[in-house]
Amino acid sequence: MEQLTKGEIKVNIQTNVSKADLRQTVEHLAMSMPVTDMHTHLYAPEFGELLLWGIDELLTYHYLISESIRWSEEEYSHFWSMTKREQADWIWQTLFLDHSPVSEATSGFITILTRLGFDVSSRNLDDYRQELAKRSVNEQVDIVMQIAGIDKIVMTNDPFDSIERSVWLSGNGKKDPRFYAALRVDTLLNDWPLAVNELQNLGYDVQMEWSKQTIEETRRFLSEWIIRMDALYLAVSMPGDFQYPADDHRSKMIDEVMIPVCQGQNIPFALMIGVRRKVNPLLGLAGDMSMRSDVSAVEALCRRYPDQKFLITMLARENQHELTVLARKFRNLMIFGCWWFLHIESIVEEMTRFRVELLGTSMIPQHSDCRVFEQLIYKWEHSRKIIAKVLADKYEKLHYSGWNVTEEEIKRDLDDMLNQNFWRFLGKGQ
Ligand code: FIX
Ligand code: ZN
């Protein structure tokens, strides 16, 4: 790196990015740098039918189901009585042909088709289907990860799911080094009677009553599965009325099982807070809603357990600013992603902007929450553009003050946001 010495001040002349190139450089790097997607519902190919991909899965994504059924006057049961292909055809007709695909999820499908090289002007769904039918799942996984620029994917893994469990027990769960596990603990926290049943079936000696034996056995279950999966963190989705501390099952489970296990295994605990499940049960997965939450529950956790790391995202827009301020107070709190209904361009921009203004680059701006493999393409392309725009605005402002960022510094900042903040928080900095 060439340097000029002007008195005492060393000026790096080689990699300073001129104002004219700044925006372009930031955009180019943001669009192309490899990403760690730290929360998805995707699976490695070894998980067989659990890995969803292709046109029909994309069109029957639950985001598109709720958007399309708004246009229908049929009974909800009519939609569910159709085959997947019929549902996909109907959603295509309703959201793409009868109306314009301007929503985030519909425009995302168009982004996917375009990046896969399809002629979207033909509007011929069967052509797209036929093209994809020529590919194997392994080929498609490679192609999509390459187009989306994703090199590490964290799955959502539930040992109570019998299909998934058998993959882990057969030793195939850890074969693909691009995929990492996160152990989901929703049932333990949110449906204890069901969890007791599942744990007993798996041979753990637990009872409904909260006893020393039950605590020890639940800890044993979690520790064994963390090790089996090599899980990077424990994760749960919580309803908006989650309170902590409280005189309830969740607080006992957190204090006496989750935290001791996380500390024993040296992994973070991820809480995704603010879901109201099944506000319209007739919509299935598409029937969940968002709900304002109490940020002070996170505050209490971070204060009580300063040595425990918490990965936190919240679903209500109203909670975002307060949560970001809280992250300034606790270094054991890492905020992540624009979750679910917040994963729309206007809100991603708003959240990314004030997160950068309050925290600099010390947060994880996005995760994809993909359920269908090709969604990686649109979810990341749309978000990368926004991250680039927000950062470029900030660098430009610095430039006017005479502080010129170098290309290496831009790369470092983006790498922190897209990769390193996550891995370092885990104590696995790369
Ligand atoms: O709880 C979660 O991890 C949520 O992300 C999902 O349950 C939700 O259905 C989803 O797909 C959101 O994007
Ligand atoms: Zn999720």
Which numbered ligand comes closest to the C-alpha of 154?
2
Structure tokens at 199: 């744990």
43-68 confidence digits (pLDDT tens): 999 999 999 999 999 999 999 999 99
C-alpha Rg value of the chain to the nearest Å = 23
Q: Tell me, in angstroms, the distance from the centre of ligand 2 to residue 69's CA.
A: 22
Which helix (H) or strand (E) segment holds residue 97: the answer is: none
Over residues 134-138, the mean pLDDT reads 97
Q: Tell me, in angstroms, the distance from the centre of ligand 1 to residue 393's CA.
A: 31
Instruction: Tell me which DSSP letter residue 254 carries.
Output: I
The closest-lying atom of ligand 1 relative to the alpha carbon of residue 340 is 13
Q: Tell me, in angstroms, the distance from the centre of ligand 1 to residue 346's CA.
A: 20
Asked whether residue 4 carries a pLDDT value surpassing 80, the answer given is no
Which numbered ligand comes closest to the C-alpha of 287?
1
**Separation CA 115–CA 128 (nearest Å):** 12
The closest-lying atom of ligand 1 relative to the alpha carbon of residue 39 is 3
Q: Tell me, in angstroms, the distance from the centre of ligand 1 to residue 253's CA.
A: 22
Mean pLDDT rounded to a whole number for the chain:
96
Q: Tell me, in angstroms, the distance from the centre of ligand 1 to residue 340's CA.
A: 7
Q: Tell me, in angstroms, the distance from the centre of ligand 1 to residue 75's CA.
A: 25
Asked whether residue 177 carries a pLDDT value surpassing 60, the answer given is yes
Pairing of strands 9-12, 234-239: unpaired
The 10 Å Cβ neighbour count of residue 24 is 12
* Ligand 1 atom 9 nearest Cα: 285
Taking the CA atoms of 253, 334, 168 and 230 in sequence, report the sign of the dihedral they define. Answer: negative
Residue 16 binned pLDDT confidence (cut-offs 50, 70, 90): confident
Q: Tell me, in angstroms, the distance from the centre of ligand 1 to residue 339's CA.
A: 8
Taking the CA atoms of 188, 189, 190 and 192 in sequence, report the sign of the dihedral they define. Answer: positive
Asked whether residue 41 carries a pLDDT value surpassing 90, the answer given is yes
67-115 confidence digits (pLDDT tens): 999 999 999 999 999 999 999 999 999 999 999 999 999 999 999 999 9
Which numbered ligand comes closest to the C-alpha of 186?
1
Q: What is the pLDDT of residue 430?
A: 78
Structure tokens at 299: 């505050």
DSSP string, 198-249: HHHHTT----SS--HHHHHHHHHHHHHHHHHHT-S-EEEEEETT--SS-SSH
The structural domains of the chain, ordered by start, are 19-425 (3.20.20.140)
241-268 confidence digits (pLDDT tens): 999 999 999 999 999 999 999 999 999 9
* Ligand 1 atom 11 nearest Cα: 369
Q: What is the pLDDT of residue 260?
A: 98
* Ligand 1 atom 12 nearest Cα: 340
Q: What is the pLDDT of residue 195?
A: 98
Which numbered ligand comes closest to the C-alpha of 379?
1
Q: What is the pLDDT of residue 358?
A: 99
* SS3 sequence of 301-370: HHHHCCCCCEEEEECCHHHHHHHHHHHHHCCCEEEECCCHHHCCHHHHHHHHHHHHHHHCCCCECCCCCC
The 10 Å Cβ neighbour count of residue 295 is 20
Q: Considering the chain, what percentage of its residues have pLDDT values greater than 70?
A: 97
Which residues have any ligand 1 atom within 6 Å of their CB? 41, 237, 272, 285, 340, 369, 371
Structure tokens at 197: 């049943």
* Ligand 1 atom 13 nearest Cα: 340
> What is the amino acid identity at position 205?
D
276-333 confidence digits (pLDDT tens): 999 999 999 999 999 999 999 999 999 999 999 999 999 999 999 999 999 999 999 9
DSSP string, 359-416: HTT-SB------SBTTHHHHHHHHHHHHHHHHHHHHHHHHHHTT-PPBHHHHHHHHHI
Residue 189 binned pLDDT confidence (cut-offs 50, 70, 90): very high
Pocket test for ligand 1, best of 155, 237, 314 (most atoms within 8 A of CB): 237
**Separation CA 237–CA 213 (nearest Å):** 26
Over residues 204-208, the mean pLDDT reads 98
Pocket test for ligand 1, best of 66, 183, 189, 340 (most atoms within 8 A of CB): 340
Asked whether residue 234 carries a pLDDT value surpassing 60, the answer given is yes
The closest-lying atom of ligand 1 relative to the alpha carbon of residue 237 is 1
Asked whether residue 133 carries a pLDDT value surpassing 90, the answer given is yes
Q: Tell me, in angstroms, the distance from the centre of ligand 2 to residue 39's CA.
A: 6
Asked whether residue 3 carries a pLDDT value surpassing 60, the answer given is no
Pocket test for ligand 1, best of 369, 373, 379 (most atoms within 8 A of CB): 369
Cis peptide before 306 (omega within 30 of 0): no
Nearest residue to 329 via CA among 285, 279, 295, 365: 295
Q: Tell me, in angstroms, the distance from the centre of ligand 2 to residue 231's CA.
A: 16
Count helices and strands in the chain by DSSP H and E runs: 20, 11
365-410 confidence digits (pLDDT tens): 999 999 999 999 999 999 999 999 999 999 999 999 999 999 999 9
Q: What is the pLDDT of residue 8?
A: 46
Which numbered ligand comes closest to the C-alpha of 105?
1
